[in-house]
Amino acid sequence: MTRSLAFMSFRYAAILLAIAIVLVPVLWMASMAFKPIEEWQATGADLTWIPRAPTLDNFRYIFGRSTSDLIVTLDKTALKPILASFLSAGIGTILAMTAGTSAAYGLSRFGSGANLPLALVQLRLFPPMAVMTPVMIMWAFLSFTDSWWGLALVYGIVTLPFAFWLMKTFFDDMPKEIEEAALVEGCSRGRVFLKITLPMMRAPLASAALFVFILNWSDYLIALLLTTKQWVTIPVYMASLSSSMTGQLYGAKAALGLIAAVPPVVLGVLIQRHLVRGLTFGALKQ
Amino acid sequence: MKDESAKLGFRLTLPAQVLVLFISVFPLLMQLYISLTDWSPLSGQSWTQAWTMWNTFANYSDVIHDSRLWAALGRTALIMAVCVPVEFLLGLGLATLFMDDFPGKRVAYSILIMPMMVVPAVAGYMFYMLFQSGGPVNDILSRLLGHPVTLAWLSDPRLALVAVMTADIWQWTPLMFLILLAGLVGVPDDQIKAATLLGAGPVHRFITIVLPRMKAIIGIALAIRVIECFKIFDTLFIMTGGGPGVATETISVYIYKIATQDLIWGYVAAIALVILIVLSIACVWALKRMAK
Amino acid sequence: MDQQNRISRRQLLTTGGKLAVYGAALGIAPKFIRPARAGAPDALAAGMIGGPTGFDGAERYQYGADTPEGRAIEAAKALKGAGKAPAKIVIGLSDGSIGQLTKPFPAGAPSIKDLWEKETGIPLEIVGLPNGQEFTKTMQDISTKGGAFDIYSVEWNRLGDLAESGGIAKLDDYVAAHKPEWDDPKRGYVDGAKGVALLNQYRGSTYGVSLDGDFQTWVYRTDLFGDAAEQSAFKSKYGYDLAPPKTWKQHADVAAFFQRPDKGLFGCTDLRNQGWGYTNWYQRYTSMASPNQFLFGDDGTPLINSDQGVAATQEYVDSLATHSPDAISWGWSEQYGNFAGGGAAMTCAFSNLPKFLDNAGNTGSKVTGKIGSMLPPGREIDGKLVSRSVLWFSLTGMVSAQSQYPEVAYLLLQWLGSSRIYSWMTANPGGYFDPFSLNDFADPLVRETYHGYHMDIVRETVARTVPTINYPGATAFHNALDENLMAALTGAKTAAQAMADTAAEWKKITRRTGEDKIIDAIKANKAAWPTVLDPV
């Protein structure tokens, strides 16, 4: 299809504008991460857009290797919170994807669990804040509070609806003939699922997993309420870089923010070729 | 064979069922119980003793008269009513620009989905800085308008609302864009070509061929954002804490405040159950409509 | 990189707090880095059984067997010997305060944590809590029976709430057994037993140990107030001499006079944000009557929905005009940063502001040598001046009811909160535990860190300080006030509406919390209100 010059210029102009808007906060964060403390200030005539004296101090600082005498060394480095985020978001994602995919398949093929679609939408729709009080009591009772597994369990549950719904639409869409052919050839149901169905679902699985992971990785509220010291996650830890006494350690926050963006970006790049197809939610009926 | 299928289906759905029951049974029963009492962690008694503070339906009648709660709900609805359509239109607009190949597409695409990769809490801190009265946003506006702009974004009730909505739109338009682009790419080319041959213009083609084919995916995209936007908390809470005053206090922020500061958990439970009932009705209705 | 050892103004502007603390440390450090005493630097002075060593004047912080500190250490050791001590004591502490326990000060000294561990053999685990999350985390631990801490440190006025929740231990038996001597007339709390009742007790029982002294204190710029041109301009405009304002009327004049936003100068930058703004409202409101305008009547009725309440609120709202446009979203660090940059003529803050900003080592501060302290503005009533400040925040140590070893936890608090160790700790610029006892105000090291001129004013301010609401429901009471004041500030409500709504809200909270408890607590709270009146 050929496009008119006018359309092409409009397209580039619009995309450039969108990119510019998208980039302002991103670049602000990236630049802040490399600014020395003298340049953090966000107000007035001294506003710094590009670091005048770029430094890695902010990164060194959050890993406890501050060379500067001016900043007190942190009592806790960012390492453990990064680990906590990885474990809770990662295991939570695996949990949600496993339970969600198998349930979606069970419903789609065998009509089991007819209550799940509604129950899971309700589960996701409900503001976590409103149920967190009993969950806090329950978690403390089970000794799940302030642990990565306790957090992973909640994450697995609150993102289960996404895994389920995403996968269900794809299973619904998948032509049954393929599986049936394999069954006729004598494969067991389980083998068909593992060897034929799942591989075909690589794209949806990958994008659903990425999406679920990003949701878990992003969480602030649940971790804020369910962790205290050992297993605080990145967003919660970030708040300790901002007590009113230390002032807001914006550079350190931005540095950690950059680091926190790495896993979603890496995963996103890895599954990029599946992403667009995977996100159709199987909703394009031919 | 049928039995075996049912068994297998049961087994496959079992983990999900267990997880759902695990997170709903105890919390629901507990909420139901303490919502009928004045129990608070400050009362000095365990929640199991809440019956000693029985107040029957006082919490529920308080919910009806809680003007702050309704204001927070209204504010949440307003944020949803602005953010979701804006995100949708921007996402759709951008997605249509990405339907065919052009030089630089991959780079542009990668940049545009960046906000999804930024942890919302981090975005909150960045936007807090951006919206200072002498901060970057005003700096850009000053340069564009040619005169100094010193809006106190986060200190003004109306501007603060604009600021938090801006952050939400920034963060979530990319998801709309991604989903809608996936939908657009999936519309079969031959149908569009056929329409072109019949002499339909691009706008006409878009409305008559493309959009109807995307109905389902648009529905899903909107549903996801409506659901998530209703719960809006992280970025907003870090930017304004619901302030100034209650200017940006959404339903989640309100419940967070009364649950962690006022600590009136009996009342929180009543609010939670009311919301649950209202949402469930909405949910059943929406699913029925979708099924049609 | 010489950059690293320099503090620039901008850095202070954004980071205020802890960086400033270290700036202060740099400034102060050279004065303290002296060769340790010849001979045995680790030796205790004669008759002493413990305390810090290794720096000049260390003997002031050492203790004999018959001191609160000595008794605490001995008792802790005995408990440990009897197997009645925990493997470690877990203490939850605001992030910003940890430095005072873990950083050695002055040069040559051990850290507080090391000293305790060395003397008792019981390790301390300090868990940092983000500022503002102390109460939330504490309540979480209590309500879910988490049991993660032996000691909580929470804002002072949550004592009533926490005591009622049953989450913190009553300390009366331990106080009787180990005699902390908080009311010692020479070294103890200002106001003796009354001060102890105010800071550590709830309804007659001890539940907390004060670890802070956040008496909100006023400072001004001596260079601006002393400038001849400013003085004559002021005089010709207002008809009286430019001086630190004694009344709120004068305060408004002075603030308006210096309000020059185009020149980067604001009249006054005391806080107007959520959770803090009402500290200024308190000062304006409580000085509306002599000796005090109370918040509640003896029968528990709110008194704020009155002419006094409305007038104070109106004044509070009007004063926003002499603040920064961002005032409502400005917190403490923005305030300090702005003041360091010379951005304000007056402000009201924690007592530690001069310690950080009037500091030779803080090369970035534009106000070094230019800060003066003043008493809070007041009102002339019946020929006397009623001037009131307010106690707000002020971290207090409390023993968790879930602690397996509450006595040891208490002993740590007794040791930390008694005058010798506390003075040594508060002088440490590594955190924000501020001075509050008589010994602190007299201690040379504290006076050096906080400045003599300031310490004298702080001490006088303490005598004019009203307590904030510290009865059960304190948080809910303050939130209701906060929201309504904020609505008044943003123009959503009139002053009268704001007061009427707050009073209605307060009545509801009183009913919900239990009137008897509240009335009881109101009486105890009132006993601590100041009676000092000044000549006009």
- Which ipTM value was assigned to this complex? 0.89
pLDDT of residue B189: 74
B-chain residues within 8 Å CB-CB of C143? 41, 263, 265
Interface touch C476/B262, C-beta < 8 Å: yes
Cβ contact (<8 Å) for A113 and B287?
Answer: no
**Confidence label for B2 from pLDDT (cuts 50, 70 and 90):** low
pLDDT tens-digit profile of C343-358? 899 999 999 888 878 8
Question: Which positions in chain A touch B125 (Cβ < 8 Å)?
Answer: 238, 242, 248, 250, 253-254, 257
How close A57 gets to chain C, by Cα (Å)? 10
Contact C207, C456 (CB under 8 A): no
Whole-number pLDDT of residue C361: 66
Instruction: Supply the pLDDT for residue A276.
Output: 67
Give me the residue from C10, C96, C102 closest to A243, CB to CB. Answer: C96
Q: Give the DSSP letter string of C310-352.
A: HHHHHHHHHGGGGS-TTGGG--HHHHHHHHHTT-EEEEEE-TT
> Could you tell me which chain A residue has the CA closest to the CA of B140?
A24
CB atoms within 10 A of CB C442: 16
pLDDT tens for chain A, 286 residues: list them. 456 788 888 999 999 999 999 999 999 999 999 987 667 765 555 677 888 888 888 898 888 765 443 445 566 789 999 999 999 999 999 999 999 999 999 998 888 888 888 889 888 888 888 888 899 989 988 989 889 999 999 999 999 999 998 888 888 878 888 888 888 888 888 888 888 888 888 888 988 899 899 999 999 999 988 988 789 999 988 887 754 334 567 888 899 999 999 999 998 888 877 776 666 665 544 3
- For residues A96 and A159, what is the distance between their CA atoms, to the nearest angstrom? 6
The minimum CA-CA distance between C17 and chain B, rounded to whole Å, is 18
What is the spatial distance between Cα B40 and Cα C99, in angstroms, rounded to a whole number? 35
Measured in angstroms, the CA of A273 and the nearest CA of chain B are apart by 11
Query: Residue B107: which residues within 8 A CB-CB, separation 6 or more?
Result: none
The CATH class for the domain spanning B66-122+153-261 reads mainly alpha
**In Å, how far is C195's CA from the nearest CA of chain B?**
26
8 A C-beta contact, residue A134 and residue B261 = no
Question: Residue type at A281?
Answer: F
What pLDDT, on the 0 to 100 scale, is given for residue C2?
Answer: 37
Q: Is the pLDDT of residue C74 over 50?
A: yes
The verdict on a CB contact (< 8 Å) between A136 and C127 is no
Nearest CA in chain B to A248: B125
- Chain A residues within 8 A of B237 when measuring between CB atoms: 220-221
Q: Tell me the pLDDT tens digit for each residue of B47-89.
A: 888 888 888 888 999 899 988 899 999 999 999 999 999 999 9
Dihedral (Cα; A104, A108, A110, A115), 10-degree rounding: 60
| Helix H or strand E encompassing B281 | helix B265-291
Nearest to A70 among C23, C326, C337 (CB): C23
Do residues B114 and A26 touch, judged by C-beta distance below 8 A? yes
Triad A244, C165, B27: Cα angle to 5°: 90
Q: Does A106 touch chain B (CB under 8 A)?
A: yes
Q: Coil, strand, or helix at residue C260?
A: strand
Contact C490 B245 (CB under 8 A): yes
Nearest-CB residue to A47 (from B24, B134, B231): B134
How far apart CA C516 and CA C506 sit, in angstroms, is: 15
Pairwise CB contact (< 8 Å): A248 & C14:
yes
CA distance B252 to B212: 35
Tokens coding C117 = 């561990």
Q: Choosing among C7, C19, C273, which should be mutated to test the A contact, i.e. which has the most A CBs within 10 A?
A: C19
Question: What are the angstrom distances between the C-alpha of B31 and each of A158, B261, B271, C146, C197?
Answer: 18, 18, 10, 20, 39
Q: C214, C391 in Cβ contact below 8 A?
A: yes
User: Among C396, C333, C344, which residue's Cα sits nearest to residue C367?
Assistant: C344
CB contact under 8 A, A286 and B179: no
For B156, B246, C60, C330, the CA distances from B243, given in Å and listed in that order, are 9, 5, 47, 12
Q: What phi-psi label fits residue A221: left (phi over 0), alpha (psi between -120 and 50 degrees) or beta?
A: alpha
B21 vs C332, more confident:
B21
CB crowding B65-99: b at 16 or more within 10 Å, else e? ebeebeebbebbeebbebbbebbbebbbebbbbbe
Q: Are strands C266-268 and C344-349 parallel, antiparallel or unpaired?
A: parallel
User: pLDDT tens digits for C281-299?
Assistant: 999 999 999 999 999 999 9
Total CB pairs under 8 A between chain A and C: 138
Hey, are the CB atoms on C325 and B263 less than 8 Å from each other?
no
- List all chains that touch chain C, counting a touch as 3 or more CB pairs closer than 8 Å: A, B
Chains that touch A (3 or more CB pairs under 8 A): B, C
Which chain C residues have a beta carbon less than 8 Å from that of A136? 140, 143-144
Instruction: Please answer yes or no on whether C142 and B41 come within 8 Å at the CB atom.
Output: yes
Mean pLDDT of all residues in C396-424: 96
**Chain C residues with CB-CB distance to A244 below 8 A:** 17, 96, 131-132, 331-333
What is d(CA C348, CA C391) in angstroms, rounded to the nearest whole number?
12
C350 vs A247: CA distance, rounded Å: 14
Query: How far B222 CA lies from chain A's nearest CA (Å)?
Result: 13
Distance CA C439, CA C177 (A): 23
Backbone angles phi, psi at B223, to 5 degrees: -60, -45
Q: Does residue B119 contact residue A235 with C-beta atoms inside 8 Å?
A: yes
Q: Is A175 on the interface with B (CB under 8 A)?
A: no
Query: Phi, psi (5° rounding) for residue C437?
Result: -105, 165
Cα separation, B19 vs B21, in Å, equals: 5
Separation of first and last alpha carbons in chain B:
31
Q: How far is B132 from chain A (nearest CA, A)?
A: 6
pLDDT for position A98: 95
Q: Does C139 touch chain B (CB under 8 A)?
A: yes
Ramachandran bin of B69, using left for φ above 0, alpha for ψ from -120 to 50, beta for the remaining angles: alpha
Does pLDDT of C430 surpass 60? yes
Closest chain B C-alpha to A69 CA, distance in angstroms: 25
- In sign, the C-alpha dihedral spanning B241, B244, B250, B256 is positive
Q: Which chains touch B (3 or more CB pairs under 8 A)?
A: A, C
Least confident of B90-94, B254-258, C141-145: C141-145
Provide the shortest C-alpha distance from residue C476 to chain B (in Å). Answer: 5
Tell me whether residues B216 and A156 touch, CB distance under 8 A. Answer: no
What is the distance in angstroms between the Cα of C514 and the nearest Cα belonging to chain B? 10
The torsion angles phi and psi of C220, rounded to 5 degrees, stand at: -140, 175
What residues of chain C lie within 8 A of the CB of B243, using their CB? Answer: 273-274, 328-329, 486
Domain chopping of chain B, boundaries: 66-122+153-261
Answer whether A103 touches B (CB < 8 Å): yes
Within an 8 Å CB–CB cutoff, is residue C185 touching chain B? no
Residue B237: which pLDDT band, with cuts at 50, 70 and 90?
A: very high
More confident site: B179 or C399: C399
Residue C348 phi/psi, 5° resolution?
-125, 130
Please list the residues that pair with C201 across neighbouring strands. Answer: C206
Q: What mean pLDDT value characterizes chain B?
A: 88
* The pLDDT value given to residue A246: 42
* H helix intervals, C240-304: 248-258, 278-286
The three-state secondary structure class of C74 is: helix
Q: Is the separation of the CB atoms in C458 and C450 below 8 Å? A: yes
**Partner residue opposite C165 with nearest CB, options B42, B156, B241:** B42
Span B150-158, average pLDDT: 89
Tokens of C351: 């007592």
From residue B40, give the alpha-carbon distance in Å to each of A141, B133, B214, C47, C438. 18, 40, 49, 51, 39
In B124-183, the residues whose Cβ lies within 8 Å of chain A are 125-127, 129-130, 132-136, 139-140, 170, 174, 178-179, 181-183
Stretch B145-166: mean pLDDT, rounded? 91
Minimum-distance CB partner of A244 among C144, C146, C333: C333
- Count of positions (residues) in chain B: 292
Q: Which of B90, B111, B185 sits opposite A276 (nearest CB)?
A: B185
Cβ(B94)–Cβ(B115) under 8 Å?
Answer: no
pLDDT on residue C35: 39
pLDDT at A269 (0 to 100): 84
pLDDT at B35 over 70: yes
Residue of B41, C467, B122, B214 whose CA lies nearest to A257: B122
Cβ within 8 Å, pair C475-B262: yes
Higher per-residue pLDDT: B109 or B200: B109
The model's confidence at residue C81, banded by pLDDT at 50, 70 and 90, is: very high
Q: Which of B19, B101, B222, B234 to mutate to test the interface with A (most CBs of A within 10 A)?
A: B19
CB count within 10 Å of CB C34 equals 12
C-beta neighbour count of B48 within 10 angstroms: 10
Contact: C10, A46; criterion CB under 8 Å: yes
CA B39, B42, B43, B48 dihedral sign is positive
Under the banding of pLDDT at 50, 70 and 90, the label for residue B188 is confident
The answer to whether residues C493 and C346 touch, using CB atoms and an 8 Å cutoff, is no
> Could you tell me which chain B residue has the CA closest to the CA of A42?
B135
Distance CA C357, CA C364 (A): 9
* C525 against C431, higher pLDDT: C525
SS3 letters across A95-141: HHHHHHHHHHHHHHHHCCCCCHHHHHHHHHHCCHHHHHHHHHHHHHH
User: What is the enclosing helix (H) or strand (E) of B68?
Assistant: helix B67-97
Please report which confidence band the pLDDT of residue B206 belongs to, taking 50, 70 and 90 as the band edges: confident
Q: Does B120 touch chain A (CB under 8 A)?
A: yes
- pLDDT(C63) > 90: yes
Model pLDDT, residue C53: 93
User: Between A131 and C65, whose confidence is greater?
Assistant: C65
CB A128 within 8 A of CB A221: yes
What confidence category does residue C26 fall into, taking pLDDT thresholds of 50, 70 and 90?
very low
Between CA B6 and CA A189 the distance in angstroms is 12
Q: Determine, for residues A238 and B271 on separate chains, whether the beta-carbon distance falls below 8 Å.
A: no
Spell out which residues of chain A touch residue B12, defining contact as CB-CB under 8 Å. 102-103, 105-106, 110, 112
Omega before C535 within 30 of 0, i.e. cis? no
Bridge partners, residue B54, by sequence: B37
Structure-block tokens of residue B41: 């962690």
Whether the pLDDT of residue C226 is over 70: the answer is yes
Longest CA pairwise span in chain B (Å): 78
Alpha carbon distance, N-terminus to C-terminus of chain A: 23
